[in-house]
Amino acid sequence: MHDSIDGKSVLVTGGTGSFGKRFIETILRHHRPARVVVFSRDELKQHEMRSRPPFDTLGEDRIRYFVGDIRDRPRLMQAFRGVDVVIHAAALKQVPACEYNPFEAVKTNVVGAENIIDVAIERGVERVVALSTDKACNPVNLYGATKLCSDKLFVAGNSYAGGTPTGFSVVRYGNVVGSRGSVVPFFLRKRHEGKLPITHPDMTRFWITLDQGVDLVLKSLERMCGGEIYVPKIASMRITELAKAVAPNVEQIVVGIRPGEKLHEMLISSDDARHTREFDDHYAIEPDFVWWETGPRSDGKTCAEGFQYSSDNNKSWLTHEELRAMIRPIAEELGEHL
């Protein structure tokens, strides 16, 4: 499944973030992109990325670094020149920060998405895959609401593209192990204080690794017709089990659910399930537009009436041992030991 990357010019917004760096490293190691453009706001992070392994030697002749903001349409016009594939990973994603700075969240997550769509069509980009979150499904906080709006914009972008070659799809998944703001580094720090704060003993979350997220995006680039929201089949975990995996002998203190948090997250609602197809390793939420009649409706299996894909009714659950195996590399990277 290399056709969508090999020989192509690939641009990653938020390219200095956790996902962006892993995605770029993966395609440079295992694929043959003609050029990779790192598009992000922070010149320091770009400098650090450029000067540290593996990016200081891996494909250094193919990486280009663009300082820019997705809010800045003229800058996107410059960056998208000659680009074939866009992976849109830039976002304001910290829930408390979005609640406290709502206008900033809208400008980046919603207006920024509109800019990506408009410029991609104007520049003739072939494929765009935007990263989403489980918080966009039946959102209760502003971050989730902006990402739901972003998802809707990217799906509708296929209507705006008209007869042009540009197609847009979305990838939606749960919490990423070890990403910036992840609970794992937080627990690793707090365990030294002798107590771990737990929001609720029954809380569950979807759990995915960076490599699984990268693999899903690459597969979605190959599968997409334009308009799908791809949802991977991933495991759930209980927050109490994660705490035990990080610090088995440390006391857990229940502190209550924070504003904007859910007890359980959801990736597919019962309303979305009416036009969702199930496959071996993923679901595809199909767009409710007339033009989707040209899509692969015969593929996959129709979801049952009332189906919901939420972190508490999942068929797949991570064991204590599996959790420890997943978080051990993050702990070692931070100089901690399990």
**Has 21 been annotated as catalytic?**
no
Which of 271-275's residues contact partners 24+ apart within 8 Å by CB, and which partners? Answer: 272/137, 273/303, 273/304, 273/305, 273/306, 273/307, 273/308, 273/309, 274/303, 274/305
Alpha helix positions (H), 191-315: 210-223, 239-246, 270-273
Measured from the Cβ of residue 271, the count of other Cβ atoms closer than 10 Å reads 11
CA distance 86 to 13: 8
Distance CA 233, CA 9 (A): 29
Distance CA 131, CA 116 (A): 13
At 175, list the tokens. 């919490």
Q: Active-site residue among 8, 21, 93, 135?
A: 135
**Taking the CA atoms of the chain, what radius of gyration do you get in angstroms?**
20
Residue 220 phi/psi, 5-degree rounding, is -65, -35
CA 100 → CA 9, 106, 110, 131, 173, distances in Å? 37, 12, 17, 23, 24
By three-state DSSP, how is residue 326 classified? helix
Identify residue 272 by its one-letter amino acid code: D
Residues noted as catalytic: 135
